[in-house]
Amino acid sequence: MAQTEYKAVVSVPKEKFFQALTRYEDYPKFVDGCKEVKVERKGPGESRATYKMNIVREVSYVLDHTEKADQGLLEWKLVSSDLLKKNSGSWTVKDAGPGKAEVQYQVDIEFNIPVPSFVLSSLVKSSIPTMIKGFEKQAKAL
């Protein structure tokens, strides 16, 4: 199991960053290892998406998302997966002044197969800054 939290300030308004977060189908364009995302249902403030990622190996999983744009909060939880036992977390996006946002990413992930916790923690922690930069770049392009 790996739990981690990361905070950063990005040079993009809160609303644009949140918009980039909730456009799941765009993730393969800028999230490392993301091969495909299919949004199966989307209603006001909720969605379900199937992801195909290349994380230790190719992984497929379904997440339920709860979107609270007014609070800048995106939460998710695992519905099913071929390799993951747990995948839950959140993004919190707050205004940090003109044209800037403070983003906080939290994740709790666990595989069905034994993966040493130090390997998993290192993998998760090292990929987060790059992922946030990808979301920032995508948000600027919106």
Task: Using the Cα atoms of residue 105, residue 108, residue 110 and residue 116 in order, give the sign of their dihedral.
Answer: positive
Helix, strand and coil in the chain, % to nearest 5: 30, 50, 20
Least confident of 57-61, 72-76, 95-99, 132-136: 57-61
Structural domains in the chain? Answer: 2-141 (3.30.530.20)
Q: E-strand spans in 15-130? A: 34-43, 46-54, 58-68, 73-81, 84-95, 101-111
Is pLDDT at 1 greater than 60 in this prediction? no
43 vs 10, higher pLDDT: 10
Q: Are 66 and 75 in contact (CB under 8 A)?
A: yes
Task: Using the Cα atoms of residue 74, residue 80, residue 81 and residue 87 in order, give the sign of their dihedral.
Answer: positive
Q: Which phi and psi (to 5°) does residue 88 adopt?
A: -135, 155
* Mean pLDDT value across residues 36-46: 89
Q: Are 67 and 22 in contact (CB under 8 A)?
A: yes
> What is the Cα–Cα distance from 81 to 130, expressed in whole angstroms?
24
pLDDT value, residue 119: 67
Question: pLDDT by residue (tens digit) across 79-122?
Answer: 999 888 999 999 999 999 999 999 999 998 888 877 777 666 66
